[in-house]
Structure formats: C-alpha cells, structure tokens
Amino acid sequence: MSTNEENLVTPEAEIDLHENHTEVGEHEYTIDELKAELAEAKKAAQENWDKALRTQAEMENLKRRTQKDLEDAHKFGLTKFASEMLPVLDSLFMGLQLATGDSEEVKKFREGCELTIKQFESAFEKFNVVTIDPTGMPFNAEHHQAMVMQVVEGAEPNTVVNVFQKGYMLNGRLLRPAMVVVAKAAD
C-alpha cells in the first residue's frame, strides 16, 4: 500500500481518531485537511466576533448621539421662538426710553411697558433665557459685539461703558450678543 492510500479512509472503515484520517459524508479527509478547515472556521468565527463587537460599539455610539441630539432639542428647542421675541422686547425698551414727559397718559404708558417687560423677563427666566447686560464688565468677544470704541474718563480700557442692545443666552448658548461701547486707552 502506498503512503497516500494509508492516509485515506475507505467507506467501509470506522472512524478512528488515533489514525491520521477520518471520513465525513462521501468525502475522505485527512487530519491535516480537518485542521486546515478548523483553522479557517476559527478565523471566520473571529472575524464575525470582531464584526459583532464593532456593530455593538456603533450602536452604542448611535444611542449616545441620539440621546445628545434629543437633549439638545429639548434644551434649545426654544431658540427660534426666543430669537423672534427679542425684537419685540427691544421695541418695548425703546418705547419706554422714548416715553418722556409728566402727563398722566405717558405715566400710564411707561407703567404698562414696564409691566410687560417684567412679564417677558419672567417668562424668559422660566425657560432659561438669560439677559447679558455687561455694563462695567470687561469686554468678552464671545458674548459682546463692540459697536464703538471710545476714550472714557475714569473707565478701564477694554471695559464695557454702555450697552446699545442687551444680549441673551439660552441654556448657556448665545442667542444674541450684547451690542456695546468699549472703553479704550487714551492715545
């Protein structure tokens, strides 16, 4: 018998694990072939395991991103509405500033504007819309927009000395910067 014939199992033979061969179905396999198939199966199983772990990690990342997007939607869902209400509040402030005089009608108008402004501020406060009124504070380019720089006696350079228009933040995010006059050093 040749060496190849010794390593093959005939259909009539029983499976003998101590030998160097075995029979599966119609095909005869050598132990080396089975070892190679086992190695391929282990490799495929490891690849599938890696894919499963990557998929699970991707799902966790997606879950976190979706949760953050949802939280942001809740926190900042009022952004557009609040931004649209700011000009209305600005108009009330301007009307209040322009209402001068001591007549009874002007006093009633001023009182009505002041009450309406307080209601706006109260509603804004409930929804975490915070007013930025930086008079006397150092200029902060992240929250303030410098409209003019001028020399002001007694004011520190780079300090806000006047506010043209208040700024607003919603949950820590800038809705509108405060428009300000900033003191500069004398030349």
Over residues 122-156, the pLDDT tens digits come to: 999 999 999 999 999 999 999 999 999 998 888 88
Host domain of residue 71: 3-75
Say which CATH number the domain at 161 has: 2.30.22.10
Question: What is the predicted pLDDT for the residue at 1?
Answer: 44
90 and 110 fall within a common domain: yes
92 and 170 fall within a common domain: yes
Give the count of domains, the chain.
2
The 10s digit of each residue's pLDDT in 89-99 is 999 989 888 88
Q: What is the DSSP code string of the chain?
A: --HHHHTS--TTSPP-TTSSEEEETTEEEEHHHHHHHHHHHHHHHHHHHHHHHHHHHHHHHHHHHHHHHHHHHHHHTTHHHHHHHHHHHHHHHHHHHH--S-SHHHHHHHHHHHHHHHHHHHHHHHTTEEEE--TTSBP-TTTEEEEEEEE-TT--TTBEEEEEE-EEEETTEEEEPEEEEEEE---
Domain boundary among 23, 54, 75: 75
Q: What does pTM read for this prediction?
A: 0.62
Question: What is the predicted pLDDT for the residue at 3?
Answer: 47
70 and 90 fall within a common domain: no
99 and 173 fall within a common domain: yes
